[in-house]
Amino acid sequence: TQLLEQSPQFLSIQEGENLTVYCNSSSVFSSLQWYRQEPGEGPVLLVTVVTGGEVKKLKRLTFQFGDARKDSSLHITAAQPGDTGLYLCAGDNTGGFKTIFGAGTRLFVKA
């Protein structure tokens, strides 16, 4: 059974601080996705990474896929209260249809 472990589970920081969220597995994935979920809503895709070692940037968010395609990280620079939410990593395999999700990291950014 493939598992994705996210850390930390909960993070409370001040506005302007930097943070990194990790997503780790013992399994290889063909791609990893990061989603953000706000209360009362479904997750919304932020990014997909597919190549080992790939780095993608989305404004203040930087996503990296591990060289072995078993792990990923999300780094937020100068966090803002609008970044508050639940961040989920998800992985799937080419030809497979069972996208699995990590348990999520709940981020709270205080003004």
**88 makes contact with another protein (CB under 8 A):** yes
The contact pattern for another protein, residues 38-77, with x = CB under 8 A and - = no contact, is --xxxxxx--x-x---------------------------
State how far the Cα of 26 lies from the Cα of 14, in Å rounded to an integer: 33
- Output the smallest distance, CB 107 to another protein, in A: 15
SS (H, E, C) 35-89: EEECCCCCCEEEEEECCCCCEEEECCEEEEECCCCCEEEEEECCCCHHHCEEEEE
Size, binding site for another protein by CB under 8 A: 29
User: Which residues form the interface with another protein (CB under 8 A)?
Assistant: 1, 4, 6, 9, 30-31, 33, 35, 40-45, 48, 50, 88, 90, 92, 94-95, 97-104
